[in-house]
Amino acid sequence: MDYGEAVRYLYDLQYLGVKFGLENTAELLFRLGGPHTRYKTVHVAGTNGKGSVCALVSSVLTAAGYRTGLYTSPHLIDFTERVKVDGKAAAREDIARLTAEIIPHLEAMRKSPEERLCTFFEATTALAFKHFENEGVDVAVMETGMGGRLDSTNVIVPEASVITRLGMDHMKYLGGTLAKIAREKAGIIKPGVPVVSAAQEGDALHVIRQTAAERGSKLRVEGIDFHCSRKSFGIGGQRLSYRGSRGRPFDVDISLLGKFQVENAGLALCAIEVLRERGFGIPDGAIRKGMKGARWPARLQVVRKNPLVVVDGMHNPNAAQAVADSWGEVFGKRKVRLVLGIMADKDYPRTASTVSSKASMTIATAPAFQRALPADRLARDIGAAEYYDIPADAIVSAIRGAGDSSAVLIAGSLYLAGEALMFLGDAPPDSVDVFERLQKEYSIGAFPGHDVGGNEAVEPGGREPFHVLISTILSHRTRDENTHRASSALLARYGTPESLAKAPVAEVERLVRPSGFYRMKARYVKAAAKAVVDDFGGNVPRDIGSLMAIPAVGRKTANCVLVYGFGIPAIPVDVHVHRVSNRLGLVKTKTPDDTETILATVVPKSLWIDINRLLVRHGQEVCQPRRPRCPKCVLRGVCMLWRRESLPVSQKKKGKGGR
C-alpha cells in the first residue's frame, strides 16, 4: 500500500459520518498493543484556540528536549500535517505503512458479532497514537476533534487537560446551549488530573468547575488563577507578560498575531506550569524559545506584504469576533477586501456579518469541500459584491483590486485557508489532489493513437499490446489526430506482428503517411514487428528491458505498452506529460526522462497508471502548448503557472517577503 491508497482508504471511512463513543477506538488501540499508554500526554479541548494552544505547548516541550508528538485536525494542505513529531509532519511512507497495519484490525472489527465500524477520525486517531509509539515520543499533545467526553482522543489519562474558549459550534452534536457544550468539553477532565480553563461565558465555567470538583481535579481559570496580558505588538508578533503560580511576571514573545492569541498563550503557559509541577524539566529559556518559535498557520497569518494578504481559518461567530477585535492592529487604516467561504452547516449569517461589516468589499467563494456553501448562495445571502466558484479566482480578483494601499483577508473556513495557503505559497501541488481532480474531470483519457474527441474510454491494460506499440512509435513528432489517422489505417490492414512484418514497405509508407516522416516510420514499425516475431515468438514482451530491445522503442513507448497493453504501473512521458507536469509544478525538469524520474518520487505508485492518460487528455483539451485555457482549468487553484501568471507583476516580485 502506498500513500495515495492509504489516504483514499481512510477518506472512504468518512461515509460512516460522525459517531460518538470510545468503544471502537479503545478496541482498535487494544488490538494495536495499547500504544497510547506508552508515553505521557496533554489533552486540549474547546471551541476556538485548540490548535494554537497545542502548537505552543508542543513547541515548548520540544525546546525543552522532549521528543514531542502533536495530533491536530483538520489539516490545511496535506494529511500528514495531522500527525507531527517535534514539529515535523509524518512521512508519507509512515502513513502508508501504519494504514496497512491497522486495516486488518478494522476489517476484523467489522466482521465481529458487534459489527464495529470505525470512522475516519477513529482510525486516524489510532494511527496517530501508533505513530507516536513508533517514533519513541516522550509526550504527545492531543487535540480533540469535536466535543470531548465521547471524542476518540478521550481514551488517554493525561498529565494536564486544557479547555480553551467555548462557543456555539457543532450544536447538532454537542447541544444547543453553552452549558451543554461545556458538559461535553469537560468530559476530558480525568480524576485527579489538573485542568486549565479559559475564562468562560455564561454557565460554561460553572459546568467545568462542577465537573472538576466531582473528579477531584484542581482547576485553574484564566483571569482568576493566572493572568496573561500584552505589553506590545506589531505585525511581527507580540510581547506578553504572564503571572502564574510563582507570583512574579514572566515575559515571553510569540509570533502569532491577534488579541485572541494572548488568551491562548496564557493557557499554554499555565499548562506548562502544571507539567513542571508534575516533574517535567522545562527551563525558562526553553519556554521563551518554544513560545517564540511556535507557528500555527491560518491564524491571522501574513502570507504576503505587498499588498498585505492575511489568511485566517475562523469558521464560527466567536472566532469571527476575535478576528474583528484584532482588525485594527493587523490592517491598520487599510481598506480590506474580504474573500469569504463558509461551510453550509455553520452559523454563516452571523459569522459573515461580523467580519464583512469591517471590510470595504466582500467576495464570496466556496472551498472544494462537500459541505461548502455554494458561492452564489453565500453572495446572495450576505450581499457580496462578487462571487467565484473557485477560491483561486476570488483571491486573484481581491489581490488585483487591492493595489498597494489596501489589504486582503481570506477567511471563513480552514478548508478555504488551506486552498489559499497552497495557492499563495511556493510549495508544489499535492500529486494525490491533482490526479483526484483530473479523475473527476475526465471520464476517459487519451494515449497515442486514440481519438480524444470520441467517447471510447481508454483504460489501463485495455488495449492490444502490439497496437499500443505501433501507435506509440507512429506518434513521434506528430499531432495526436495524425497519429490516430495513421495508426487506425495501418492496424486495420496489418493488425498482427506477423502481417506487418511481411507487409510491402511502399504500402506501409502509404498508410502511415499522415503521421509525417512516413518513410522512416514505415521502416521502424516493420522492424519492430519483425523483432516481436523473431525474438519474442510473436508476443509483445511485458518488461521494460525486453521492450527497449525492440528497434525504435524508447522509454516512453515501452512504458505506454506496459500501461495500456498490460495494465502494469509505469509512467509514459510524452510532450503533454512533460509540459503539464512542469507547468503544474509537480516537477522542474528539462527532459522527459528526468520528468519520469521525478514523477516516480512525488506521485504514489498506485496513481502511476493514470498519469499518462489524464495528463495527455488535459494537455490536449486545456493545458495546450501555445494557448493554455487556464480560466477553464480545474487545476488552476493549485497550478504554479497560474499562480505566476494570474497575479499582477508587482505582487509577483514582492510577494516572497511575506512568508
Q: What is the pLDDT of residues 414-428, one digit of tens each?
A: 999 999 999 998 888
Most confident among 15-29, 328-342, 527-541 (mean pLDDT)? 527-541
**Termini Cα distance of the chain:** 35
Model pTM?
Answer: 0.82
* pLDDT tens sequence across 206-252: 999 999 999 999 999 999 999 999 999 988 899 999 999 888 899 99
Residue 431 has pLDDT above 80, yes or no: yes
Predicted confidence band of residue 201 (pLDDT cuts 50, 70, 90): confident
Spell out where 205-335 has E strands. 219-221, 227-234, 237-243, 250-254, 301-305, 308-311
What residue ranges of the chain are covered by domains with CATH 3.40.1190.10? 3-293
Instruction: Quote the mean pLDDT of the chain.
Output: 91
**Domain over 439-634 is classified CATH 1.10.340.30:** yes
pLDDT of residue 654: 38
Grid cell of 450 as nine digits: 486514440
More confident residue, 36 or 645: 36
pLDDT of residue 391: 94
Looking at residue 425, its pLDDT comes to 86
The stretch 524-537 carries a mean pLDDT of: 97
pLDDT computed for residue 22 by the predictor:
93
> What are the tens digits of pLDDT across the range 245-296?
888 899 999 999 999 999 999 999 999 999 999 999 999 999 999 999 999 9
For residues 580 and 555, is the Cβ–Cβ distance under 8 A?
no
Q: What DSSP assignment string belongs to 123-184?
A: HHHHHHHHHHHHTT-SEEEEE-SS-STT-TTTT---SEEEE-B--S--HHHH-SSHHHHHHH
Range of weakest confidence among 129-143, 171-185, 369-383: 171-185
pLDDT of residue 27: 96
Which residues of the chain are in CATH 1.10.340.30 domains?
Answer: 439-634
CATH 3.90.190.20 is the classification of domain 301-424:
yes
* pLDDT over 50 at 655, yes or no: no
CA–CA distance, 268 with 623 (Å, rounded to integer): 48
**Banded model confidence at residue 653, pLDDT cuts 50, 70, 90:** very low
Instruction: Please give the average per-residue pLDDT across 384-408, as a whole number.
Output: 92
Q: Looking at the predicted structure, is the pLDDT value of residue 461 above 90?
A: no
Q: What is the pLDDT of residue 246?
A: 84
Distance (Å, whole) CA 389 – CA 400: 18
Residues in contact with 249: Cβ distance below 8 Å, sequence separation at least 6, in sequence order: 241, 242, 243
CA-to-CA distance for 384 and 415, rounded, in angstroms? 20
Query: pLDDT-derived band of residue 460, with 50, 70 and 90 as boundaries?
Result: low
Band the pLDDT of 451: cuts 50, 70, 90.
Answer: very low
Residue 659: predicted pLDDT: 27
Averaged over 87-104, what is the pLDDT? 97
Confidence of residue 658 (pLDDT cuts 50, 70, 90): very low
Can you give the pLDDT at residue 453?
A: 47
Mean pLDDT of 107-131: 94
Please tell me the distance from the alpha carbon of residue 89 to that of residue 38, in angstroms, as a whole number. Answer: 20
Q: From residue 585, how far is each of 147, 271, 360, 434, 619 by CA, in Å?
A: 39, 42, 34, 11, 15
pLDDT category at 105 given cuts 50, 70, 90 is: very high
CATH 3.90.190.20 residue ranges of the chain are 301-424
Angle at 50 between CA 153 and CA 198, to 5 degrees: 110
Q: Cis peptide before 460, with omega less than 30 degrees from 0?
A: no
Q: What is the DSSP letter of 561?
A: I
Q: Which residues of 347-379 are buried (b: 16+ CB within 10 A; e: fewer)?
A: bbeebbebbbeebebbbbbbbbbeebbebeebb
Query: How do residues 545-571 score in pLDDT, each as one tens digit?
Result: 999 999 999 999 999 999 999 999 999
Average pLDDT of the segment spanning 26-47? 97
Q: Would you place residue 459 in the very low, low, confident or very high pLDDT band (cuts 50, 70, 90)?
A: low
Please give the share of the chain, as a percent, with pLDDT higher than 90: 76
Asked if pLDDT for residue 110 goes beyond 70, the answer is: yes
Neighbours of 589 (CB within 10 A): 17
The strand pairing partners of 162, in sequence order, are: 44, 196
Asked which of 3-17, 286-300, 409-423 is least confident by mean pLDDT, the reply is: 3-17
Instruction: Give pLDDT, residue 602.
Output: 92
Top CATH class of 3-293 equals alpha beta
In this prediction, residue 452 has a pLDDT band, given cuts at 50, 70 and 90, of very low
Task: Please indicate whether residue 613 or residue 86 has the higher confidence score (pLDDT).
Answer: 86
pLDDT of residue 462: 72
Is the distance from CB of 321 to CB of 351 less than 8 angstroms? no
